[in-house]
Amino acid sequence: MSPADSRDPDHYRVTVERELAPALARWHAWERDGAVIGLFQRARWLQAWYATLGAQAGREPLLVSIERSEDGRPLLALPLVRERRGRLRCISFADAGVSDYVAPVCAPDCPEDPAEMRALFAALRRALPAADLWSLEKMPGHVGERRNPLLQLQGTRPSALFGNPVSVGEDFDAWRFSREKTHRKELERSWRVFSRHPQARWERIEDVGRAMQVMDALEALQREAIRGKGWAYLLDEPGYREFYRDLLTQGLSGGETVLTALVAGEEIVAALLGVRHGDEYAMIRIGNAAGEWRNCSPGRLVIERTMAALHAQGVRRFDFTIGDYAYKRGFQPDRLDLYESVRALSWRGWPHSLRARLLHHARTWLARRPQLKERLLALRARGGAEAS
């Protein structure tokens, strides 16, 4: 077939399913043949998501598989949802704020040429139900070792968000000693202080009943910390509690979901929830006690103890995921740039697409003027303090 044919939308066969099970079976077969799947697009994550957040009123699953028409070779898959956002019908990834990175399932033959991706997107648009806006956020630049093909779509641009991965070699102690001395010494001191408490210990929770108790404590600690900063706590909204408990119920025994905690007697001092596949682990929720426990940095302590335990089991990439929080910086993560794709699919979507583009230009302009950015942030902080 000539190269020109690959730029024809008819070159691609698009299957859109509403049921997750057949799509997952297909993607699992693709993975056996070399397709790459991200941590937040794996079966256990999607099963929990579509059963809870994806099942809410106003959300319709769209499980997309794209193959070559002439030979059925797999190319690309997308776990999407059509949802109502006010008056708009929006097509986005299975996310709702819980998936730190969104990425396609990429088969070995997935096109990388921009013209081919435009043709593939045209075929996709013809197969999708009517919508007003296409909005994909938090896309990494690479899926596995290959460049994310969605970055070739017209209008894709850098996001204001970024990830925080840490790569650790075969020697965990060598990595630990490569961190800043003050950070390392502070963690050593914190463990000594914490260990003085009766029955102080680090635990990996593997019993589902116990996991639910620890998750209750994690949520309470996180809720208190976020509300204490004057921020809105959204994870009590319908669907979120059920989503995380589904992850624990279905993923704990197989190791896809990892829950760890610092415990003193019967008290949960800190808890960390993450997901794992192979040598990758991503932290998704953390809660830690303040007050008398603050002097032993329980949040950072539960992270380091968890990293050490998982490293011994073969994990080499530890992802602190999105969010520019101070506790992450001592672990010296790399910066993982993320991207977004916002496109109008109808006249109703145009104002929102234009707004996203203008916001991007404003952020870019401000990023080139760091002194002005610092002044604006200071003014914003001062305004928040006066309001409180």
Task: Please answer whether residues 203 and 258 qualify as being in contact, where contact means their C-beta atoms are separated by less than 8 angstroms.
Answer: no
d(CA 313, CA 279): 9
Closest Cα to residue 107, out of 21, 16, 12, 17? 12
Provide the CB-side half-sphere exposure for 236 (13 A, CA): 12
pLDDT computed for residue 367 by the predictor: 55
Q: What pLDDT was estimated at residue 234?
A: 83
- Of all residues in the chain, the percent with pLDDT exceeding 70 is 88
Burial code (b: 16+ CB inside 10 Å, e: under 16) for 131-166 equals bbbbbbbbbbeebeeeebbbbbbeebebbebbbbbb
Q: Which of 351, 198, 194 is nearest to 270 (CA)?
A: 194
On whether the CB atoms of residues 253 and 206 are closer than 8 A, the answer is: yes
Which ranges of the chain would DSSP assign to H, the alpha helix? 20-32, 43-51, 114-127, 172-178, 181-195, 208-228, 240-251, 298-311, 326-329, 350-367, 370-387
Alpha-carbon Rg for the chain in angstroms: 22
Which CATH architecture describes the domain 3-161+337-375?
3-Layer(aba) Sandwich (3.40)
End-to-end CA distance of the chain, in Å? Answer: 66
Q: Where in the chain is the domain with CATH 3.40.630.30?
A: 165-319
Q: What is the pLDDT of residues 66-116, one digit of tens each?
A: 999 999 999 999 999 999 988 899 999 999 999 999 999 999 999 988 899
The answer to whether the CB of 16 falls within 8 A of the CB of 125 is no
- Over residues 119-170, the pLDDT tens digits come to 999 999 999 999 999 999 999 999 988 899 999 888 788 988 899 999 999 9
pLDDT reported for residue 273: 98
- What's the CA gap between 228 and 149, in Å, rounded? 41
For 179-184, what is the mean pLDDT? 88
Residues 6 or more apart from 41 whose CB is under 8 A from it?
79, 94, 99, 102, 103, 104, 105
| 252-270 mean pLDDT | 96
Which CATH fold topology does 165-319 show?
A: Aminopeptidase (3.40.630)
Q: State percent of the chain over pLDDT 90.
A: 70
Neighbours of 324 (CB within 10 A): 10
Give the relative orientation of helices 370-387 and 350-367 as an angle to the nearest 10 degrees: 110
Q: Which two three-digit tokens encode residue 325? A: 């929080």
* Range name among 51-60, 262-271, 356-365 with the lowest pLDDT average: 356-365
Distance separating alpha carbons of residues 244 and 252, to the nearest angstrom? 11
pLDDT tens column, 290-315:
888 988 999 999 999 999 999 999 99
